[in-house]
Structures are given as structure tokens and as C-alpha cells.
């Protein structure tokens, strides 16, 4: 999911003509769906037997590595590969001059803006050449002996300065990407005039890195003029299309397989240069080629959540009614076109008649941004939700009540169409009750150096998904099932959820369902596993396929058993008849074995006409701030989520806790640090770039699903969860820190230094 897709979904016009949602009636009580069942691939994942692309090997496979530009802005004058070519084990060297390697890259408004190997290197780590060798070490050795002559250029790495005069241009047209995106409704000036309190404040968020457990890479193999790629990605069909385009091949000549993906978070939603380089190398050598990045490389070239600078001005009446919000959001897209901000929540999270937002994307000499778990939303929440707390403080209101005062019932940014369900109020109210908000809020922070406080933040996600998925379910003669879906399971539990849907409809035990997925040659189209759409886009297709099989099975069984269909039920791999009670295992059905297989094809229905299906959330945090050291300890968090029906209780919780963990890093420790003098990243490793560990994540985490029984969003009633889980986290922690320490940290992450500086500025005596 790209942030610009979210933007383009905004419109104020009439609802587009849409087909009705899939005709299947909503489920009532479910027997399997919603349970906390173990993951279908849990054993493979924990035992190490799951074969990720990183683990994949083929006979005769060669290894590749990429020679990268060490400068943040430079022009390649000369590449001398003569020494590398003569080195032990080297099979091929690829540069921009290699036949077939001049491939356009990175789409701008007017077409591609770069090349696979671009002599104008606009950020540290740009691809200059590649080595294919018999072993990985030989490739690394040869890469070091490639002699590259650079003309080093002046650079800009600070997005707040990129548009200033004298900033070196990253691209010929300058550092402004496109035009600022402007949205307005109502009359903000009039709204501010009505307000009892108007506040304006600037907030900053750091650049966060995806930090996927599995590094990025591919294995490529040619069979004649057909290419197969084992890749780690978030959608095989999307990557196939991009790869086919890059290599000028028909879709039918490219097969992409991604059976296991060790995390993506948005960074594996676009074709990597490494994939194309592996394919070129495999074509040149006639042997399969494996090219995986090192951990350090992933920090430089596989995307990031860009830093944001967000200035918000907001007005409220005495009773807490929002009258106007104005916001300017600026972020760096890195060196190539992308989106950097999202004002969506400012436009749609709260009822507010007068809103103006302006979003500006700028180029800097750093790695390109990619979508990262709710692109733009956590940063927007960091600003908006801290502003809500400041407004509440000014009004002397409970921050919970201020939010409850401004709950929307329609999507104001999308033509005032109603939401299929708006669980925001329930998330806030039920979350507060379960958290013990009232008691905890009134508890004094303490007067020693350890201060406690609680904070909350609300959030929503703004993308309703690409309603386009097909699934096939096959029931075999012995009563076992093959489920065929193109969806990638990027670690979220997609396969488990889909198997539960089949089990729900066919009454077949989960362990009798074989899953075939994420292979463009053998499975059916599914959109990218991103944008929190995987479950609610694919489950309805899987359900429809299972229902097609069920209907055929029941009519065969009815005929064979001389019973009306209405007297039959499917349960535990058998057909059950109520009276007189009888149980016929599916494997005993002659009508089934006569056919050997029943095949159901299911397609996802369209989104509901005239309505918007989006998830909502509220998260609550309790923290302890040490005013001597500035350390923040998150003691507990509670996440209340309206993501519609809980499909799988276990993976739902996994998503929520994972989202909180990522948000905790965003709030407290994670930030890309670029050296002021060289522009280079100084913490491109997991030692210096601190993602939360088990010691940082509170043991006291509560997941509180709010199920508004949405019968309209789609035929399974689920909305997205993966991204909402991380949207409010950092803001909730920031608000709790403010409640505890009495200082508001406008710029994230909330480091010890920032706490201590703020306390000092406040004149607070730091007791020693």
C-alpha cells in the first residue's frame, strides 16, 4: 500500500458506481473462525524447516553481490572491473554498460527518473556494478577490487532544508517532488474565529527502518527464455508484473514464488534491483544466481518510514467541539519519487467542519522511502494525538472526553459517505474501561524521580483495499482439501486464517487442508499483502470458493443419502444427519469418490456501494519516566481495535502486539542517523539502530478486539488490522510521558537527552 494510493482514494464527489458486495450472507456464530488455533505453519516456522527464499538453494547455483556507491551524492566517472573479472571464481561482472542492463528505474510523473545502474548516484548505497561468482565470499572479494572513480557532489540530507536556496538539487528539477498536495473543506479561518482555544505546534518524527528479520533478495533461474524467481516479497503478482516489465517479457515467461516471507512491513512491496540483477546474472552465466543483501545494505536501499515535520493548528470550543484544523506536513521521499506524509487522519479521524492540509514531499540524498506499516499514519498520529491532548489540557478536559466529543459517523474526506461500522467510540470507551483509565489518570505521578503517567491515542487506517482476489478450493475423495490462493503470508498468519475459513464452511479439520499459495504459475491472482488488506480481500474469495464446494457436496450427499439438503450438516470431515442421528465420513460418500474432486472457484465481491469500510483503534499506555536519567519504561499497554470480525484470535493478537512493538521503537529508540559532514548513515546495523527487544516490550500487553458486527464491509465482516496496530502507539506513549514527567516531547524518538533537556528547560530540578 502506497501512501499516495490513500491520497488518491480521497474524493469529495459522488460514490462511484459499485457492484453489491458478494451475495453470501454474513456469518452468525462461527465454529472455527475467531478461535485461537495454532498457526498452520507454526511447526515449520519454529523448527527452522520452513524454506524462506533466503534459505533456498539450487544445484549449480552462483552467488552475487552488488558494488555500491559509498558517497551520498556522486557521479560515476569510471568503473574498472578488469581486476575483478580475473579473480578466482568470478563468473560474470555486470555494469551499466553490460548488454541488457540499461533498464529504466523509479517512476516519476513523466516516466522513469533513473537506471538500474545510474552513473548519477543520489544516495549512499546506489548500485554501481554487480559480481557473480561461485561462492558468496568470492563475490564479496571481487566486489572490493572493482575500482570506481567518483566525482563527489555536494549533498542535502535534511528535509527541512532541502527546498532552501543553495541546497544541492538531487534531481535536475530541484528538490520539490511534484506539487504540494492540498486538501480543504469548509473555512478554517472562520472555524478558528469560533474557537475558545486555538493551539499551534510543530512536531517531528524520525526516519524508521523496516528491520525485517529476513533480508531482501532473490534466487533467479532461467529455463530457456522463461524465468523463475524465488523471492521474499509481499505479493508475487505485483512483483511478476514489475519484473516482466523490467525485462520486457510477457507475464507468462515470468514465475515468482514467495512461500515464506520473513517480514516485509511495506519494504517488500516493490521490485528490488537485486531481483533484476540476479536474473541478468543467471542469463549471462546460464546458471541459477542467488543475490541476497547484507543486513547493512538493507538499511541503505530497501526503504524507510520517512521523517516528518508536521505543524498543526487546531481550534476547539469550550465544550471540546473541534472547529478547525490546519496542518502542514513535510517529509523526505529520499532520492527517488515516493510519498512521504499522510494527512488522512487529520481529515477523517474526528468530526471537524473546517480542515486544510498541505503535504510536501522533498528529495534528499538518502535512500528512497517505501511504504512502511501504515505509511504516514503513525507520524500524523504523533502530531494530531499530541495536539488533542494539549487541547484537552488547555480546556481542563479529560483527553478521552475530548475525543469522544468529536467522533465521526461519515467519512468527511470521501463525500460524507457513512462507514460500514465506526468502532472508534467503542474502542475509546471499552478500552478506557478495561485499562482502568479513570483511576490511573487520577493517580498522581509521584514526587520522587520515578514518575508514572498514562496516555491514550486514537487512530484509523485509510485504505479499503483492492477488492480483487480469486481462490480455488478442491475437495478430494478422501475428504481432504486443497486450498489455492495467490496471497502471500508475510508472517501475519494469512494461511491460517484462510484455512479456518475453509474449515468453517466445509467442516473439514484444519490439518486436512493443504495450502498452495503465492506462486504466480500455480495459484490464483491476489493483490499485494499490504495495506492491511490481505485478510479482508482474500477471505471472502476463499469463503465463496468453499461455499461453492459445499453446495455441490451437499446436493450430491442429499441425493445419495435420500435426505433434503436442509437436513444435512458438515462437521468434522463428515456429513451429519440430525434425526435419526447419523454420521457419514466424506470418504464414504460414493458420489464424491465417483467424481474424485469437487472444485469451487470464488471471487471477492466489490466494496459496499456508497459506504466506506475502515478500521479504528485506541491504544492506552502507562509509562514510568526516570527524571534523573531521562529513561522511559513502558509498563503496560492496552490496544482496543475495531477491525471488524476477529478471524483468528491468535494471529489477531500477534498483529496487535507486533504493531505495538514497532510503535514502541518508533516512539523511543529507532531513528536513522545521518552524519552531518558526510551524509552517510552511521547506524546501519542492528547494534546501533535499536529496535525493541524482549526487555523493552512490557509483559503487560492487552489486546481488546472490538467487534462491531459489521455485516456490510464484506462477506466475512473483517476489516484491516496489521497497520492500525501500530498507528496510535507512539502517540499514546508520548502522551503518557507528558502525563508522567510534565514535559511534552514534540520531536521523536523520546530519547533520554530529549527528556532531560525538556525537564531542564522547564526548570525542574533533577534530583540526584
Determine which residue in the list 4, 68, 259, 373 makes contact with ligand MOS, applying CB under 6 A.
373
Residue 1 near ligand MOS by CB under 6 A:
yes
Contact pattern from residue 269 through residue 298 relative to ligand MOS, giving x for each residue in contact according to CB under 6 A and a dash for the rest: x-----------------------------
Determine which residue in the list 139, 352, 372, 502 makes contact with ligand MOS, applying CB under 6 A.
372
Nearer to ligand MOS, 573 or 728 (CB): 728
From the CB of 6, what's the least distance to ligand MOS, in Å?
10
Nearer to ligand MOS, 239 or 452 (CB): 239
Name the DSSP letter for residue 610: T
Residue 339 near ligand MOS by CB under 6 A:
no
Q: The C-alpha cell of 577 is what?
A: 444427519
Angle at 610 between CA 544 and CA 11, to 5 degrees: 120
Centroid of chain to Cα 316 = 33
Residue 614 near ligand MOS by CB under 6 A:
no
Q: How far apart are CA 75 and CA 101, in angstroms?
A: 18
From the CB of 529, what's the least distance to ligand MOS, in Å?
7
Residue 663 near ligand MOS by CB under 6 A:
no
Question: Angle of helix 729-741 relative to helix 649-668, nearest 10 degrees?
Answer: 50
What b-and-e string marks burial along 102-114, b requiring 16 or more CB atoms within 10 Å of the CB?
ebebbeeeeeebb
List the one residue out of 296, 289, 301 whose CA is nearest residue 139.
289
From the CB of 179, what's the least distance to ligand MOS, in Å?
24
Residue 338 near ligand MOS by CB under 6 A:
no
Nearer to ligand MOS, 217 or 465 (CB): 465
CB atoms within 10 A of CB 86: 10
Residue 724 near ligand MOS by CB under 6 A:
no
Residue 748 near ligand MOS by CB under 6 A:
no
Nearer to ligand MOS, 5 or 757 (CB): 5
Nearer to ligand MOS, 71 or 373 (CB): 373
From the CB of 655, what's the least distance to ligand MOS, in Å?
12
Of the candidate spans 134-142, 371-379, 395-403, 439-447, the one that interacts with ligand MOS by CB under 6 A turns out to be: 371-379
List the one residue out of 372, 379, 376, 341 whose CA is nearest residue 263.
372
Q: How far apart are CA 420 and CA 441, in angstroms?
A: 33
Contact pattern from residue 216 through residue 235 relative to ligand MOS, giving x for each residue in contact according to CB under 6 A and a dash for the rest: ------------------x-
Residues numbered 139-178 forming contacts with ligand MOS, rule: CB under 6 A? none
From the CB of 617, what's the least distance to ligand MOS, in Å?
16
Residue 266 near ligand MOS by CB under 6 A:
yes
Nearer to ligand MOS, 359 or 626 (CB): 359
Residue 265 near ligand MOS by CB under 6 A:
yes
Nearer to ligand MOS, 140 or 525 (CB): 525
Q: Is the dihedral of CA 591, 593, 595, 597 positive or negative?
A: positive
Residue 120 near ligand MOS by CB under 6 A:
no
3-state helix, strand, coil in the chain (%, to 5): 30, 25, 45
Residue 531 near ligand MOS by CB under 6 A:
yes
Which residues lie below 8 Å from residue 662, measured CB to CB, with a gap of 6+? Answer: 265, 373, 692, 726, 729
Contact pattern from residue 180 through residue 219 relative to ligand MOS, giving x for each residue in contact according to CB under 6 A and a dash for the rest: ----------------------------------------
Residue, CB closest to ligand MOS: 266
CB atoms within 10 A of CB 381: 32
Residue 371 near ligand MOS by CB under 6 A:
yes
Q: Which residues pair with 560 in a beta bridge?
A: none
Residue 630 near ligand MOS by CB under 6 A:
no
HSE value, Cβ hemisphere, 13 Å, CA-based, for 104: 8
Nearer to ligand MOS, 1 or 195 (CB): 1
- Beta sheet of 197-205, edge-to-edge order: 181-185, 355-363, 322-334, 308-316, 197-205
Nearer to ligand MOS, 533 or 714 (CB): 533
Kindly name the residue from 552, 624, 723, 765 that is annotated as catalytic.
Answer: 723
Q: How far apart are CA 213 and CA 711, in angstroms?
A: 37
Q: The C-alpha cell of 765 is what?
A: 530540578
Q: The C-alpha cell of 115 is what?
A: 537506471
Helices (H) and strands (E) in the chain, counts: 19, 30
List the one residue out of 603, 418, 424, 435 whose CA is nearest residue 524.
603
Q: Is the dihedral of CA 492, 263, 4, 361 positive or negative?
A: positive
From the CB of 269, what's the least distance to ligand MOS, in Å?
6
Residue 239 near ligand MOS by CB under 6 A:
no
Q: Is the dihedral of CA 736, 737, 741, 742 positive or negative?
A: negative
Of the candidate spans 64-72, 263-271, 346-354, 683-691, the one that interacts with ligand MOS by CB under 6 A turns out to be: 263-271
Annotation says 723 is catalytic: yes
Cis peptide before 749 (omega within 30 of 0): yes
Listed in order, strand segments (DSSP E) in 607-739 are: 616-626, 632-642, 700-705
Residues at the interface with ligand MOS (CB under 6 A)? 1, 234, 264-266, 269, 371-373, 375, 530-531
Catalytic (active-site) positions? 723
Amino acid at each position: 500500500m502506497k501512501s499516495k494510493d490513500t491520497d488518491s482514494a480521497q474524493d469529495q464527489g459522488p460514490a462511484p458506481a459499485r457492484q453489491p458486495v458478494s451475495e453470501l450472507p454474513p456469518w452468525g456464530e462461527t465454529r472455527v473462525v475467531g478461535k485461537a488455533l495454532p498457526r498452520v505453519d507454526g511447526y515449520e516456522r519454529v523448527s527452522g524447516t520452513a524454506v524462506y527464499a533466503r534459505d533456498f538453494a539450487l544445484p549449480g547455483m552462483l552467488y552475487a553481490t552488488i558494488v555500491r556507491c559509498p558517497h551520498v551524492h556522486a557521479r560515476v566517472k569510471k568503473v574498472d572491473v578488469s581486476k575483478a573479472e580475473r579473480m578466482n571464481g568470478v563468473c560474470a561482472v555486470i555494469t551499466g554498460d553490460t548488454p541488457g542492463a540499461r533498464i529504466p528505474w523509479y517512476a516519476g510523473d513523466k516516466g522513469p527518473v533513473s537506471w538500474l545502474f545510474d552513473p548519477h548516484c543520489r544516495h549512499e548505497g546506489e548500485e554501481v556494478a554487480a559480481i557473480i561468482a561461485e561462492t558468496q565470499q568470492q563475490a564479496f572479494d571481487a566486489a572490493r577490487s572493482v575500482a570506481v572513480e567518483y566525482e563527489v557532489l555536494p549533498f542535502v540530507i535534511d528535509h527541512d532544508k532541502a527546498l532552501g536556496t543553495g541546497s544541492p538539487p538531487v534531481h535536475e528539477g530541484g528538490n520539490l517532488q511534484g506539487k504540494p498536495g492540498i486538501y480543504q473543506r469548509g473555512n478554517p479561518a472562520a472555524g478558528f474565529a469560533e474557537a475558545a482555544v486555538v493551539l499551534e505546534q510543530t512536531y517531528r518524527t524520525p526516519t524508521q527502518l523496516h528491520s525485517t528479520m529476513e533480508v531482501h533478495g532473490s534466487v533467479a533461474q532461467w529455463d530457456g527464455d522463461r524465468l523463475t524467481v524465488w523471492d521474499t516479497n509481499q505479493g508475487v503478482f505485483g512483483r511478476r508484473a514489475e519484473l516482466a516489465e523490467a525485462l520486457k517479457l510477457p507475464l507468462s515467461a515470468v514465475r515468482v514464488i514467495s512461500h515464506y516471507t520473513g517480514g516485509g512491513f511495506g519494504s517488500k512491496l516493490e521490485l528490488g534491483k537485486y531481483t533484476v540483477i540476479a536474473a541478468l546474472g543467471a542469463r549471462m552465466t546460464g546458471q541459477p544466481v542467488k543475490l541476497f543483501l547484507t543486513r547493512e545494505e538493507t538499511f541503505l536501499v530497501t526503504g524507510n518510514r520517512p521523517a516528518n515535520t508536521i505543524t498543526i493548528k487546531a481550534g476547539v470550543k469550550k465544550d471540546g467541539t473541534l472547529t478547525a484544523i490546519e496542518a502542514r506536513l513535510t517529509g523526505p521521499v529520499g532520492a527517488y519519487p515516493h510519498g512521504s506524509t499522510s494527512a488522512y487522519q487529520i481529515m477523517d479521524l474526528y468530526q471537524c467542519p473546517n480542515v486544510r492540509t498541505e503535504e510536501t514531499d522533498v528529495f534528499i540524498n538518502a535512500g528512497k522511502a517505501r511504504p512502511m506499516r501504515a505509511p504516514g499514519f503513525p507520524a500524523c498520529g504523533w502530531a494530531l494525538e499530541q495536539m488533542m491532548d494539549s487541547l484537552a489540557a488547555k480546556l481542563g478536559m479529560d483527553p478521552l472526553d475530548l475525543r469522544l466529543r468529536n467522533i465521526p459517523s461519515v467519512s468527511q474526506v470521501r463525500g460524507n459517505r457513512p462507514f460500514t461500522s465506526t468502532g472508534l467510540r467503542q474502542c475509546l470507551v471499552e478500552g478506557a474501561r478495561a485499562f482502568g483509565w479513570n483511576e490511573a489518570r487520577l493517580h498522581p505521578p509521584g514526587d520522587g524521580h520515578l514518575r508514572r503517567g498514562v496516555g491514550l491515542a486514537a487512530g484509523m487506517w485509510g485504505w479499503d483495499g483492492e477488492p480483487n482476489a480469486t481462490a480455488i478450493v478442491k475437495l478430494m475423495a478422501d475428504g481432504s482439501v486443497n486450498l489455492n490462493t495467490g496471497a502471500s503470508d508475510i508472517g501475519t498468519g494469512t494461511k491460517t486464517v484462510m484455512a479456518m475459513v475453509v474449515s468453517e464452511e466445509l467442516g473439514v479439520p484444519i490439518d486436512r487442508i493443504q495450502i498452495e499459495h503465492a506462486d504466480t504459475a500455480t495459484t490464483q491472482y491476489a493483490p499485494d499483502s499490504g495495506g492491511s488488506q490481505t485478510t479482508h480481500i482474500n477471505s471472502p474469495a476463499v469463503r465463496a470458493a468453499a461455499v461453492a464446494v459445499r453446495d455441490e457436496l451437499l446436493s450430491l450427499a442429499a441425493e445419495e443419502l435420500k435426505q433434503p439438503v436442509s437436513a444435512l450438516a458438515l462437521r468434522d470431515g463428515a456429513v451429519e444427519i440430525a434425526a435419526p442421528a447419523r454420521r457419514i465420513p466424506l470418504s464414504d460418500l460414493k458420489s464424491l469418490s465417483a467424481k474424485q474432486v469437487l472444485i469451487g472457484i470464488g471471487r471477492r465481491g466489490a466494496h459496499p456501494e456508497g459506504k466506506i469500510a475502515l478500521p479504528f483503534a485506541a491504544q492506552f499506555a502507562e509509562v514510568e519516566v526516570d527524571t534523573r536519567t531521562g529513561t522511559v519504561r513502558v509498563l503496560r499497554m492496552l490496544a482496543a481495535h475495531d477491525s471488524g470480525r476477529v478471524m483468528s484470535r491468535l494471529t489477531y493478537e500477534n498483529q496487535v502486539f507486533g504493531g505495538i512493538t514497532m510503535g514502541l521503537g518508533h516512539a523511543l529508540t529507532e531513528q536513522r542517523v545521518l552524519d552531518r559532514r558526510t551524509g552517510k548513515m552511521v547506524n546501519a546495523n542492528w547494534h546501533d539502530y535499536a529496535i525493541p527487544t524482549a526487555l523493552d516490550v512490557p509483559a503487560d500487553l492487552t489486546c481488546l478486539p472490538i467487534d462491531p458486527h459489521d455485516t456490510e464491509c464484506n462477506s466475512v465482516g473483517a476489516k484491516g488490522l496489521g497497520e492500525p496496530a501500530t498507528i496510535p502507539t507512539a502517540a499514546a506513549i508520548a502522551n503518557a510521558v507528558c502525563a508522567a514527567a510534565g514535559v511534552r516531547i514534540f520531536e521523536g524518538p523520546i530519547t533520554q537527552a530529549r527528556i532531560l533537556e525538556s525537564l531542564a528547560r522547564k526548570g525542574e530540578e533533577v534530583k540526584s
